[in-house]
Structure 1
């Protein structure tokens, strides 16, 4: 049984009424991965915008393994201290990680964020030495279109994250850098300039799926879709 753990911020946890890219990934693997697998993590809920808390189970389709380690407003800074216990308790084999926007927007600069990403990797490996990771860079968002210094920090962090992935990659615990979703458009792939709509969910799932297919031979090429 191969255990995938989605790790991320608001784009990964999703909110009430959404499918989430986690669901799209599960669908893709059901269709393309030949062996048993599941999604794991210490959390299951969506974010409820009315309650302003992660208390919703109102998935558009609840019929999939909903486990994850994602939180609205959480970043590398928040997940680095949590990942060890999550990996240990859930026996995660592959981490699918999409973090960084929150860090750069509110907490840390590019260098500090990259340092937290390295701490995340170290803590995950301390808990499970053979864990594999796929890291997604910060993808296009509305703030970067109007805030020049922020856009520069995003670009720098993505370079530092790629360097960290290259530096820390090792045969026992390999790390892949996923390519940003090709031609990701905040006007057609998000509902507010940041959070993915159905099309964006597919694009994020595709980024992870293509990395695993090309890097490790897991699954196959992603078949794009929209709802």
Structure 2
């Protein structure tokens, strides 16, 4: 089903939500920056990037204390954290949506859950909690969810790879189950041509190429389903 967005007369507020792949670390641009550039160049109405946090992760301090963006001149707001997953964000999302007046959530979560905290079924339950709480704060919230991208661990850990596959299957079913016209829930396709040996710097975290591909996955989903913006032009 295709849902139209009619927000020409008001500000549309996007909130990136994610783990270490979304917060990024000192010295990076992040996919959040690539998405802002794309929306700036292709979205026809006023928009804002919102969220209760602004920093990058400082690996030396092992804390989210860095403002050392490769290009700091962009709206850096987000709700993302190194080592945080669905189970961490579900209790936070209502307050974040309410305080930041978010309209669209761009969510990339799950890898850290499956790697350290919960199995596929438990993670799927936290997805449902997250969506419920987000809608409590804004009954018309729109959400785009990225499937988990298997990282380098999945190449050598068959049990972990199976959990990732299982979760992505459950995620697709959950999105279909919870999607509704008033509050659309959209599953993005995996980032185009994503290769962890080419698009990450360590087998997990995106380099510049990976940042563009993650942004492209969100952008393409919103363009095809909602007519928002234009197709993403990969460099």
2: CA distance, partners of 1:2 / 1:123 = 20
Equivalent position of 1:161 in the other structure: 171
Partner of 1:25: 35
Alignment partner for residue 193 of structure 1, among 203, 212, 226? 203
**Cα shift at 1:4:** 0.2
Q: CA deviation at 1:183?
A: 2.2
Q: Unaligned 5+ residue runs, structure 2?
A: 1-10
Query: C-alpha separation between the residues in 1 aligned to 2:180 and 2:143?
Result: 11
- TM-score, normalised by the number of residues in structure 1: 0.98
- Cα displacement (A) at 1:159: 0.6
Which of 73, 83, 91 lines up with 1:73 in the alignment?
A: 83
Equivalent pair of 2:51/2:79 in contact (CA under 8 Å): yes
The answer (yes or no) to whether the contact 2:111–2:150 under 8 Å persists in 1 is no
String of CA shifts for 1:123-168, please: whole Å, max 9, x gaps.
0000110000000010131011110000000000001111110000
Residue of structure 2 aligned with 1:183, choices 193, 201, 207: 193
2:104–2:144 contact (8 Å) kept in structure 1: yes
Distance (Å, rounded) in 1 between the aligned partners of 2:33 and 2:191 = 17
Counterpart contact for 1:45–1:56, Cα < 8 Å: yes
SS in structure 2 of the partner of residue 35 of structure 1: coil
**What SS does the aligned partner of 1:199 have?**
helix
Query: The residue matched to 1:154 in structure 2 has which SS?
Result: helix
Match for residue 147 of structure 1? 157
Assess if the C-alpha contact under 8 Å between 2:15 and 2:77 holds in 1: yes
TM superposition score normalised by structure 2? 0.95
Counterpart check, 1:206 vs 2:222? no
- Aligned residues of 1:140 and 1:185 also touching (Cα < 8 A): no
- The residue aligned with 2:4 is none
Match of 2:72 among 55, 62, 66: 62
Alpha-carbon distance between aligned partners in 2 of 1:183 and 1:210, rounded to the nearest angstrom: 14
Q: Is the 8 A contact 1:140 1:184 kept in 2?
A: no
- Please give the alpha-carbon distance, in whole angstroms, between the structure 2 residues aligned to 1:141 and 1:215: 28
In structure 1, the partner of 2:127 is: 117
How large is the RMSD of aligned CA atoms in angstroms? 0.5
Deviation at 1:104, TM superposition (A): 0.2
Q: Contact conserved, 2:199 with 2:207, CA < 8 A, in 1? A: yes
The equivalent residue for 1:128 is 138
Instruction: Compute the displacement of 1:54 (Å).
Output: 0.1
Which residue pairs with 1:39 in the alignment? 49
In the comparison of the two structures, how many residue pairs are matched?
A: 225
Runs (4+) of structure 1 exceeding 4 A deviation are none
Q: Report the 3-state secondary structure (helix = DSSP H, G, I; strand = E; otherwise coil) of the residue aligned with 1:17.
A: coil
